[in-house]
């Protein structure tokens, strides 16, 4: 177990480092694109990307998760998984390029059809390397994944930025993403030891399908819940509304990639390694959500407090409404600290059916709230979804209790102190920025807001949650011995 813990720490280090670099470089590219492309152009690509991202969930989850969780690596099983993933990627790519794109062109414009067809190549490419990535993750070779991801991100980002400046419009975003995906897949294929054999065993395919079924269904529901707002905004209001929602959400996604996803990725491998010990999983789950909340809550809520100035300042004045979208989205900080480790915990303990139920609850909630909020545009949808999370999270925590024995009050207590301290900090920053510094320049308000938040949050923790902080910081390193 000590070796597992050391692997987790090393893996987290590389994943966090890569996420930090990729977040910074992606932000630079995104800023360039936002200043050279119009909201309508952004919306066209975002609309097409919805369908691609929904499909990617079937390639990157399920079968790879089954290989990571397997007790021993079996080349025959991996080869069967490879041909399944490859075939699925080919079918999805052909469906979009040859069927969906021609049908969508007349309805949404020829440019949209061409963009959808071009982006569908991503599905074919990622289907060919899903097993290779699973092998690297299983072996905690996150350093190799990180280094190669950075390389691809640099090349794809530079290409996209250059094409945007050169006036390629939507194709700057499309080609940048396709090239980045292609490079990542090539280098991951080279890094992995696995080479597919011409082997396909029906019994192993059924085994993979049985495990992956609930995960596929839950991923479909997760993507439905995630993509539904943009999908309805595009259908009801138009591409520009999608763009405002995406730009606001993209900033928050970058924070998630930096703060949460690296821990989440390595936590999957670690939780799988202790999948036979229910009590150990319960302990690790509580430590994960405590550590996540301590960092995520002030980052999310603090950014939300300065978002109305920050977003237009960084992306341009045409994105002013996206700042208020980001403020509304940041309110989800508390539920996020709990939800990002649900699937990893359920899958590790062998209850992928719980993953499905949690996704179903989130999807139903998303459908209802989006229908209510869409009349108020992108900001209304973002606010409705944040409020929805507070309603559905306690229901999902009841599944966590059944799976691990962690009581709902225990889980809530693990994130409550940093959440309320961060909420108070954000309220102070918002009030001072909006009223005390109303006549200041936006840049000055942003800088002052960051400094006030950075000073206020630790003080509030020391006053109201000192024992919580000391306990959390003391127990997190014990993950090395879990």
Radius of gyration of the chain (CA): 22
Tell me: the pLDDT tens digits for 287-299? 888 888 998 899 9
Q: Considering only residues 442 and 154, tell me which one the structure prediction assigns the higher pLDDT.
A: 442
* Nearest in space to 338 (alpha carbons), one of 302, 294, 282, 289: 289
Q: Considering only residues 261 and 296, tell me which one the structure prediction assigns the higher pLDDT.
A: 296
Lowest mean per-residue pLDDT among 140-154, 189-203, 299-313: 140-154
pLDDT at 29 over 60: yes
* Nearest in space to 268 (alpha carbons), one of 133, 399, 386, 394: 133
Q: Considering only residues 44 and 349, tell me which one the structure prediction assigns the higher pLDDT.
A: 44
* Measured distance CA(437)–CA(159) in Å, rounded: 40
> How high is the pLDDT of residue 20?
64
> How high is the pLDDT of residue 4?
46
Top mean pLDDT of 133-147, 311-325, 439-453 is at: 439-453
pLDDT confidence band for 101 (50 / 70 / 90): confident
Mean pLDDT, residues 15-37? 73
> How high is the pLDDT of residue 10?
54
Tell me: the pLDDT tens digits for 107-142? 677 788 899 999 999 998 888 888 887 787 776 666
Mean pLDDT, residues 306-323? 90
Q: For every residue of 301-315, which 3-state class applies, written as one string?
A: HHHHHHHHHHHHHHH
pLDDT at 471 over 90: no
Mean pLDDT, residues 239-261? 79
Mean pLDDT, residues 82-104? 86
* Nearest in space to 127 (alpha carbons), one of 180, 83, 179: 83
* Measured distance CA(224)–CA(343) in Å, rounded: 16
pLDDT at 451 over 90: yes
pLDDT at 324 over 70: yes
* Measured distance CA(204)–CA(176) in Å, rounded: 37
Mean pLDDT, residues 51-61? 79
Tell me: the pLDDT tens digits for 75-89? 787 888 888 888 888
Q: Considering only residues 272 and 33, tell me which one the structure prediction assigns the higher pLDDT.
A: 33
* Cβ pair 334, 415 in contact under 8 A: yes
342, two tokens: 């649900």
Tell me: the pLDDT tens digits for 331-384? 999 998 888 788 778 877 777 788 888 888 888 888 888 889 998 889 999 999
* Measured distance CA(185)–CA(181) in Å, rounded: 6
């Amino acid at each position: 177990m000590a070796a597992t813990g050391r692997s987790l720490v090393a893996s987290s280090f590389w994943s966090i480092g890569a996420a930090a670099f990729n977040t910074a470089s992606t932000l630079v590219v995104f800023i360039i694109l936002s200043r050279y492309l119009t909201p309508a152009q952004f919306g066209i690509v975002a609309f097409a990307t919805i369908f691609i991202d929904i499909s990617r969930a079937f390639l990157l989850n399920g079968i790879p998760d089954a290989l990571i969780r397997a007790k021993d690596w079996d080349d025959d099983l991996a080869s069967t998984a490879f041909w399944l993933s490859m075939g699925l990627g080919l079918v999805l790519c052909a469906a979009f390029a040859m069927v969906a794109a021609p049908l969508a062109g007349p309805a949404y414009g020829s440019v949209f059809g061409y963009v959808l067809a071009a982006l569908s190549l991503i599905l074919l490419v990622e289907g060919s390397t899903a097993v290779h990535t699973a092998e690297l993750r299983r072996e905690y070779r996150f350093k190799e994944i990180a280094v190669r991801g950075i390389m691809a991100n640099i090349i794809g980002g530079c290409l996209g930025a250059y094409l945007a400046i050169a006036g390629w419009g939507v194709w700057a975003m499309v080609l940048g993403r396709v090239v980045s995906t292609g490079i990542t897949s090539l280098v991951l294929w080279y890094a992995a030891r696995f080479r597919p054999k011409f082997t396909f065993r029906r019994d192993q395919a059924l085994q993979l399908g049985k495990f992956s079924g609930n995960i596929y269904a839950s991923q479909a529901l997760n993507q439905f819940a995630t993509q539904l707002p943009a999908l309805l905004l595009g259908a009801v209001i138009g591409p520009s509304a999608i763009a405002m929602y995406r730009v606001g959400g993209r900033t928050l996604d970058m924070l998630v990639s930096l703060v949460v996803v690296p821990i989440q990725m390595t936590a999957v491998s670690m939780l799988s390694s202790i999948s036979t010990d229910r009590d150990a999983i319960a302990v690790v789950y509580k430590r994960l959500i405590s550590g996540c909340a301590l960092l995520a809550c002030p980052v999310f809520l603090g950014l939300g407090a300065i978002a109305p100035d920050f977003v237009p300042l960084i992306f341009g004045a045409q994105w002013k409404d996206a700042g208020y979208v980001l403020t509304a989205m940041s309110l989800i900080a508390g539920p996020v600290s709990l939800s990002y480790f649900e699937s990893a915990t359920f899958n590790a303990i062998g209850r992928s059916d719980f993953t499905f139920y949690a996704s179903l609850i989130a999807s139903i909630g998303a459908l209802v709230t989006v229908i209510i909020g869409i009349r108020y545009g992108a900001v209304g949808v973002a606010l409705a979804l944040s409020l929805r999370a507070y309603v559905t999270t306690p229901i999902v925590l009841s599944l966590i209790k059944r799976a691990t024995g962690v009581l709902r009050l225990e889980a809530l207590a693990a994130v409550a102190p940093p959440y309320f301290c961060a909420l108070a900090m954000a309220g102070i920053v918002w009030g001072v920025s909006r009223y005390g510094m109303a006549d200041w320049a936006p840049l000055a308000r942003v800088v002052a807001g960051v400094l006030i938040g950075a000073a206020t949050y630790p003080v509030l923790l020391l006053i109201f949650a000192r024992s919580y902080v000391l306990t959390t910081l003391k127990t997190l390193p014990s993950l090395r011995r879990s």
